[in-house]
Structure 1
Amino acid sequence: MKIHKEGRNTIAIALLLTGGLGYLLGISGFPYWLMAIGALVLLCFLFFITQFFRIPKRHKSYEADDIVCPADGEIVVIEEVFETEYLQTKCTQISIFMSPLNVHANYVPVEGKVLYTQYHPGKHLVAWNPKSSTDNERTTLVIETKNGEKVLIRQIAGAVARRICFYPKVGDDLKQGQEFGFIKFGSRVDVFLPLEAKLDIKIGDLVKNKLNVLGKL
């Protein structure tokens, strides 16, 4: 396991804050039992911040038509929708809710070329609010496979997550399981698939990025 690059500054600030508060606690003159409780709280805070940015080692081989799970979390939506931003057609939308305890890096579900990317500033509604998909701060990525199928992936910031990191550019060639972004402190990832895609998941399933396969194109 390693720490993601997006967490280095945050963890450094947390270390300085924890160290400073720990020093003040040590010279405070409080009873030892109270200082011990305070030290435990500070260590828990540091652990809580650090685990947000953990990247466990995960390796798996994929078939060419596999739709790789892009995020850790729970499947909260599987429904037919009309995608209006880019695809302009009916799709199957899969939404994965990422809790603060999940790994927050996001990965490419299908191999192909980047056709479109867009960052949208917006609100910070709770991630399970249906309007979060269109009203919240978010990014959109569209990939075209070698067979001409288009898949749209959307990172959505929630009530806690206030920063989305996004790396691909139009024209990039992406591989299944390649990292494409990071949502600090979790939120939600939506995937819009062709209606013909065969799904292997259901609402309520707990999934892990790079390990689970959502279905096949």
Structure 2
Amino acid sequence: MTLIESVRKQITPIHPEGYVFIALFAGVALVLGWISAPLGWIGALLTLWCAYFFRDPARVTPVAEGLIISPADGVICSIGQFQPPPELGLGMDPMMRVCVFMNVFDVHVNRAPVTGRISRIAYKPGLFLNADLDKASEDNERSGLVIESRHGRVGVVQIAGLVARRIVSFVQEGQSLGVGDRFGLIRFGSRVDIYLPAGARVLVGLGARAIAGETVLADYGDGGADRHFKVG
């Protein structure tokens, strides 16, 4: 392995979605530096933060029948039975919901919690309340998708937050996803809600840290056998 290859291996990739923002931050930093050296250093630090925000590290995803993996990095901020958003078409009955709150320092690339086919994608405009609030699930701007998995339909809802103003989707209806595959990104602080089919057993608690594509949120009791891993 050459020195360049070794260095490249240690650098976390930046998602292409962030290139424009990093360039804008860098341009502003140059202007601020022309006005004042201290302002220029502040601009440089903000540029580094922007690059850090859009990082897209590889993840080692556990793969086994019945596992449900976290779609987002962050803190588990809510667990319980809640009615899913009506636009997802998951019915009126409450479903087990696990919510992951992402702050502005978490990785914001979201990953599929299960393997399956996307049967629905639904966008709903709304407010930009603090994503850590329960009301955010109902009132905030959001984009949801339904994945048809072997154990039933799983709802995944990306929710904009107080700072977030743009939900980006990488997928389309009818597309097949593997567990851990990237499906979207939310810019600058937000939350992801996961609605689980009946029979899923939640394995995390409130306040726990989750890692997208790696942390097991729940299973159906048969996820411990024949487990292997994929990197991506």
> Is 2:19 aligned against 1:15?
no
Counterpart of 2:204 in structure 1 is 201
> Which of 102, 105, 108 is the matching residue for 2:109?
105
Report the number of matched residues.
206
Q: Does 1:166 align with 2:169?
A: yes
Which residue in 1 is equivalent to 2:227?
none
C-alpha deviation, 1:84, in angstroms: 4.6
Name the residue aligned to 1:50. Answer: 51
Structure 1: which amino acid aligns with 2:205? K
**Cα offsets for 1:21-42 (capped at 9, x unmatched):** 21232xxxxxxxxx3x444322
SS at match of 1:211: coil
8 Å Cα contact 1:90-1:195 kept in structure 2: no
- Larger-Rg structure: 1
- Whether the 8 Å CA contact 1:73–1:98 is kept in 2: the answer is yes
CA contact (8 A) 2:69 2:214 kept: yes
Q: 1:19 to 1:84 in 2, by over 3 A?
A: closer
8 Å CA contact 1:69, 1:209 repeated in 2: yes
CA offset digits 1:61-107 (Å, max 9, x no partner):
31121101100000010001222512113210100000001000100
Q: Distance in 2 between matches of 1:134 and 1:167?
A: 23
- How far residue 168 of structure 1 moved from its aligned partner, in angstroms, is 1.9
Q: Is the 8 A contact 1:138 1:156 kept in 2?
A: yes
What displacement does 1:198 show? 1.1
Is residue 2:217 matched to residue 1:214?
yes
Gaps of 5+ in 2: 1-11, 221-232
The secondary structure found in structure 1 opposite 2:61 is coil
TM-score normalised per structure 1: 0.90
Q: CA deviation at 1:43?
A: 2.1
Aligned AA (2:27): L
- 8 Å CA contact 2:30, 2:40 repeated in 1: no
* Residues 71, 105 of structure 1: 8 Å contact kept: yes
4+ residue stretches of structure 1 with deviation over 6 A? none
Q: Larger deviation: 58-67 or 3-12?
A: 58-67
Determine helix, strand or coil for the equivalent of 1:14: helix
Unaligned 5+ runs, structure 1: 26-34
39-48 or 176-185: bigger deviation: 39-48
Of 121, 130, 153, the residue aligned with 1:126 is: 130
TM-score (norm 2): 0.85
Task: State the identity as a percent.
Answer: 35
